[in-house]
A and B are shown apart, each in its own frame.
Chain A
Amino acid sequence: GAVVSQHPSRVICKSGTSVKIECRSLDFQATTMFWYRQFPKQSLMLMATSNEGSKATYEQGVEKDKFLINHASLTLSTLTVTSAHPEDSSFYICSARRTILGRTLTDTQYFGPGTRLTVL
């Protein structure tokens, strides 16, 4: 099956520093990846849609300059949390969209295991 990895799985950083999270599709190419944020006992909130070779599309209320997204290749998207603050502490999850054009169109998102960010 399709596998998506995230690195690191857990990171603790000091306030004011920047943290980069990687999302990789290991056995398929993904022109579109998504970044979600999940608070405890809350649903996944879509932060942005990352398209290979172009600028990411951010959801309303998400600061573009704070959450930098780069989708430089068909298998890698990165999320950089800049000048992190304690309120940025959360669980960040990525997904990669796999489209297979066969007899019917199959279009599925495959999710990474998530990255727990703690900002002190």
Chain B
Amino acid sequence: KQEVTQIPAALSVPEGENLVLNCSFTDSAIYNLQWFRQDPGKGLTSLLLIQSSQREQTSGRLNASLDKSSGRSTLYIAASQPGDSATYLCAVYSGNTPLVFGKGTRLSVIA
């Protein structure tokens, strides 16, 4: 059964820092991996989707990498801003259920 773990559970950084969020999954037979952002009181917003055949995806200041064989993904945020403060969720699609989520990393960027 697929399990997704995210480390750290919470992270607080000063504005302008570059940071890395980690995601690991137990079953490497995945179709894709997605990173979502969840703001308090709001739904999830998809940030990046990496297909199993891809190594990374970039969108603006965000870069997500995927190492399928080792069951790991990282989300790199460059030059963090207070507006980046949110919970970041990693989710994998393995074909049996639509998405299996991690618990998320709660990020606080302090001005």
Q: Do A and B bind each other?
A: no
Residues of A within 8 A of B (CB): none
Residues of B within 8 A of A (CB): none
